[in-house]
Amino acid sequence: MHSHTRRSGRAAAVAVAACFAAFSAQAATVDVTVTVQNLVPANGIAFAPLHLGFHGGSFDAFSLGGMATAPIISGAEGGAGGAWQAAFAAADPTATRGTVGGLLLPGASSSLTLRVDTALKPLFTFAGMVVPSNDFFIGNDDPAEYRLFDAAGALTLPSITVRAGEIWDAGSEVFDPAAAAFVGNNDLRTAQNSVVAFNFAELAAFNGLATGAGYTFSSGLTAGSEVYRISFEVSPVPEPGSLAMLTAGLLGVGFLARRRRVDDNLGAMSAT
């Protein structure tokens, strides 16, 4: 009778281990909530919607010292980002892409949840226009700069904080308040024909202008000022397939437990 119990116990343990192994094989896919926050004080810079993607590393939208091309210009001039999204999709067809937030005013935040395969897409890339400006943006030059997930699928980088000294000038549009988004007519532009460079000091040249949100702009930034944060939160996704296997496995354990009781009863009966 005791040997029956031990054998049934081992079988149950094997069944549980098997179904949890099947479950964790699917656990590389998780729901990731991306929260963006504008960290600057009132009356400072705002941000256009953030274009973002989880990916494998093959999309590089721009480089320091290089001419800005259509993808990053579409993010930096006006913020629409259509060419950025299209170029990302072409370079990395399996990337999980999205856009979060509307016009993100000082102090505001916004969130988006995406389902991400952390094994195939451990890297994070982003681009968003800074306003008021003609062609300023935030984004990562190196596609591999932000690795969010380790090989086991654990989130190892819970947030990215952007400082004023990391704001880019695309070098594609000449500084001109009359043509700058948020304070002027964004449809006007004069080609700059320069290269991508760091530049936040020029933002102060918009001080005193009325913004599209109704406040009078005041930059108030130093290079170390935190201007933007992107935070990540992960929650598990039990997929229907693995959930069914888990349920079947647990039902199997129930069956073994019932059979053990029957075996024990039979043993007890034969002993009489």
Binding site for Ca ion (CB under 5 A): 60, 63, 135, 141, 169, 192
Minimum CB distance to Ca ion, residue 193 (Å): 10
Instruction: Please say which residue, 49 or 71, places its beta carbon nearer to Ca ion.
Output: 71
Instruction: Please say which residue, 38 or 172, places its beta carbon nearer to Ca ion.
Output: 172
Minimum CB distance to Ca ion, residue 148 (Å): 18
- Tell me the DSSP string of the chain: -HHHHHHHHHHHHHHHHHHHHHHHHTTTEEEEEEEEEE-SPTTS-EEPPEEEEEESS------TTSPP-HHHHHHHSSS--HHHHHHHHHH-TT-EEEEE-SSB-TT-EEEEEEEEETTT--EEEEEEEEESBSSEEEE-SSTTS-B-B-TT--B---EEEEEGGG-EE-SSB---GGGSBTTS-TT---B-----EE--GGGGGGTTPBPTTSSBP-----TT-EEEEEEEEEEE---HHHHHHHHHHHHHHHHHHHHHHHHHHHHHHHH-
Minimum CB distance to Ca ion, residue 196 (Å): 9
Instruction: Please say which residue, 80 or 195, places its beta carbon nearer to Ca ion.
Output: 195
Minimum CB distance to Ca ion, residue 236 (Å): 33
Residue closest to Ca ion (Cβ):
63
Instruction: Please say which residue, 29 or 192, places its beta carbon nearer to Ca ion.
Output: 192
Minimum CB distance to Ca ion, residue 26 (Å): 34
